[in-house]
Structure 1
Amino acid sequence: LHEMDEHNGIIWKIDIEELNSLLPQKYQDALNREKAYLFTTDMMSSIVHDLESYDEDMSNQSMVFIEPPSFDERIINQYSYFSVVPKNIGCIEDFLDKYTHKSMKYIIDKDLRWEIRDMLDRLNINERIIFPDLDGLSNWLKRHYFVKESR
């Protein structure tokens, strides 16, 4: 928790339509057929069968976002999406700078992080909800009852 005091935070806003427009045509066609913005694992398995082929298809010019199956409470509560970064993209930030114009990088000053953390807590967005297991509850309790006096 003390790491929050040492570093600024970063949140990225990525325009999924812009990112999808960079995809090879067969990937765009699959999204259009399904009227989707994100891929499912089933959609991906119907297009590409291994990571080597995926890496070759994407090169260093595009990547896919997947909505994973809801097999875990964390995935459900976090509304998780995963990027599948091809091996030829060494740095996502460089990729976004080079190939996208609508992506935005928001830097959250380290001095505001606890204040924002508290605001999110009041909205019931916290470890207990995002990580609905014993670890999440333990971290929330620790932060809620033991960390405040150190701020």
Structure 2
Amino acid sequence: MAQESVTVERAEDWKTLQRLLYRDSWNEDINRYRSSNVFRGHSNRKYTLTTSLQRFVGDSGQWDLELRLLRNFNKYAQQYIDEPESFYHLWSLAQHHGLPTQLLDWTYSPMVATFFATGGARDVDGEILVVDYAAAHQLIPDVYRTVLEQADTEMFDVDLAESGTNQLLQESRESEHNDRIRAGSLDLFELFELYMEMTDNHSEPYVWFFEPPPIDQRIANQSGVLAGWFPIDPRQPMDEWLETHPEFFRRIVIPAERKQEFRDKLDRANINDRTLFPDLDGLAMWLTEYYSPTVKSNS
């Protein structure tokens, strides 16, 4: 039987965009518009879901560099941050500030994703990627699904992620570490190293999503969500795998000729650089775009 292909639709106008973004968002169980979708916007639809760690490591094969980067980030960042509450807290912080990691930024907000999809060059199509995280979480290790079920939720936060990791390690064959895991005597990096060994032995690739801690206002304003990507081949981009799962993945193309219109309408809805990047840099970017001169069409 031929595999079903991923849905790709073009948002030729603003009304169509809204329909595509909010499709299947009605939840009959609670009688509300609530979906389990997360979104990511690309200003060029040719971009792939390659993590910053994948780009950093390249062809060197030195995938252990992430742990070394994180250890040193934690060491030298002490004057700027409190002691991380967990490895996932530190991991989120490092990703937020641009350290190469295997995490990818997503958002709950379809409008925020549209903002990023309408950036960049105005002569290339943008794209919004849509993933149903509740459906994607059906493929994660059983221990993690149990943690979600016990918490009566479909989305991880850093505390649930840490709880799942500890349970996964305790149930693993690393029995010589179990007493230390239960006693909480393993440091953040020993736990993460053991965890990565366990995920390397998982039979299938998977992606899971978690809410980062409220590090600053930017995460809150962008409705940020992080995705952990665990492929069998560490060089594989996430979208190559997502393409094999059309049951929870789809694409929305933003035509190049609609980018400016959509950006202007987002600005009127207060979705712009000034609100998404609430600092002086964001203010400068917003003013630059707002007053950017345009050439009138002859048509």
Normalised by the size of structure 2, how large is the TM-score? 0.46
Q: Which structure has more helix as a fraction of its residues?
A: 1
How has the CA–CA distance of structure 1 residues 142 and 56 changed in structure 2, closer, same or farther, with 3 Å as cutoff? same
SS at match of 1:65: strand
Alignment correspondent of 1:75: 219
Alignment correspondent of 2:172: none
Q: Does 2:216 match 1:99?
A: no
2:224, 2:260 → 1: CA distance? Answer: 24
Where does the alignment leave 5 or more consecutive residues of structure 1 unmatched? none
How has the CA–CA distance of structure 1 residues 70 and 59 changed in structure 2, closer, same or farther, with 3 Å as cutoff? farther
Instruction: Choose from 108, 111, 117 the match for 2:254.
Output: 108
How has the CA–CA distance of structure 1 residues 83 and 58 changed in structure 2, closer, same or farther, with 3 Å as cutoff? farther
SS at match of 1:149: coil
Q: Does 2:279 match 1:133?
A: yes
1:1-150 alignment, distance < 5 Å: 3-48=120-165, 49-50=191-192, 52-53=196-197, 55-56=199-200, 60-88=204-232, 90-145=236-291, 147-149=292-294
2:288, 2:152 → 1: CA distance? Answer: 44
Render the CA deviation track for 1:33-54: whole Å, top value 9, x for unaligned: 1112211112112222315146
How has the CA–CA distance of structure 1 residues 33 and 100 changed in structure 2, closer, same or farther, with 3 Å as cutoff? farther
Cα displacement (A) at 1:2? 8.0
Query: Is the deviation greater in 116-125 or in 91-100?
Result: 91-100
Where does the alignment leave 5 or more consecutive residues of structure 2 unmatched? 1-117, 166-190
Normalised by the size of structure 1, how large is the TM-score? 0.88
Bigger Rg, which one:
2
Cα displacement (A) at 1:67? 0.2
How has the CA–CA distance of structure 1 residues 150 and 31 changed in structure 2, closer, same or farther, with 3 Å as cutoff? farther
Cα displacement (A) at 1:103? 1.3
CA RMSD of aligned residues (A): 2.2
1:54, 1:39 → 2: CA distance? Answer: 19
SS at match of 2:271: coil
Q: What is the aligned residue count?
A: 150
SS at match of 1:117: helix
Cα displacement (A) at 1:100? 4.2
Render the CA deviation track for 1:98-135: whole Å, top value 9, x for unaligned: 13413111111111111100110111111111111111
Q: Which structure has more strand as a fraction of its residues?
A: 2
Amino acid at match of 2:293: K
Query: Is the deviation greater in 31-40 or in 46-55?
Result: 46-55
How has the CA–CA distance of structure 1 residues 102 and 46 changed in structure 2, closer, same or farther, with 3 Å as cutoff? closer
Q: Which runs of 4+ in 1 moved over 3 A?
A: 57-60
